[in-house]
Structure 1
């Protein structure tokens, strides 16, 4: 799975912001979140979205943006990566003093941008996917460790979770909702099933069945999701020793 780094652009010149966004499109692991046109909007979008990288055009209103960065320290233990952009070196010292990660001079140098972003991403803590799924029903909250889920089965507008301890838990949401929320190892293999691929011990293409390691139960897969099954087969093959029966 491609790790994405979210970013916002703070600048009073919309054409400048759109041009920068266009230039950053070539970096597939950068995900645009929002524009902000001034200090107030900038503070709002940073607190709302918690981006990994913040680009600030210091050519106008630089003193206000430096105040914004000082204010951000009240809300962040570690500030996001902040990159200043300007027509000249007027604010370099102040940017360093305010812990800006880098300072880009206009016009852009694509090589300098690439190097700067590479170094910036190396400073961002590695992201981990959440391990706990919270099922909410009115005032009832149930927390599931996703590693303990074997598979999910759709039943009309409800979803049944089958767990490693053989228990079954019903949630009053559709399978499609959980497909978007679960970690990467959960794959849709059938209109009615999502499978924890870390728990698979066998694939039978002839019978369209996957075998679950913990209880030897079998879960069907359909041709419409065969791509996910093929990817699972490759994943299992990477750590397998092959022998004919």
Structure 2
């Protein structure tokens, strides 16, 4: 794989050094420029600047990072680097590759870069093809289900309702045990009673998650701040 050409856009130049060090730790990345001015950056793009990956701050004077990401759709892959969780909802709609919260940890940065590399290489998420087994209606019986076919799981005490596109299964377990069994990259808890497959999310409106089968899942108040960045992180 050839090196990915990267650019950092952040109105605080002090942030450049942090990302520069992290980028240098990846032989697949090449930093070709930095800017603290969204307007100047967009002029460079208009003049022919080509980049593969943009590390983009959100709160900037004049033109926000959200506006820049919207303008860069189809031109480059964007990773948001911000100190604010509350923009995760808007970021979700822009289909960015990841949402890194400052201060950025090297480990978290590495995860985002690996995701971008898989996107560019067209690598499909194989974990969703894995088969799990759940208890059947009769004692000693089991049902095989592909992880990728699950939309969400609803908890009612010890009774779990596993929802597929056209069929539901009820069995005894707990969301805690299921979350341990499933990939936390694709299955996240959004409410004390709901565990969802982020790949089946259609949209988010207010405190509701709309699934591709039309069902609406509430976002628990204590989960909201962590849910949106996780959905964005898993969306690709």
TM-score tier by shorter-chain length is: 0.3 to 0.5
**Higher RCO (Cα < 8 Å, 6 or more apart):** 2
Query: Who wins on radius of gyration, i.e. which is larger?
Result: 1
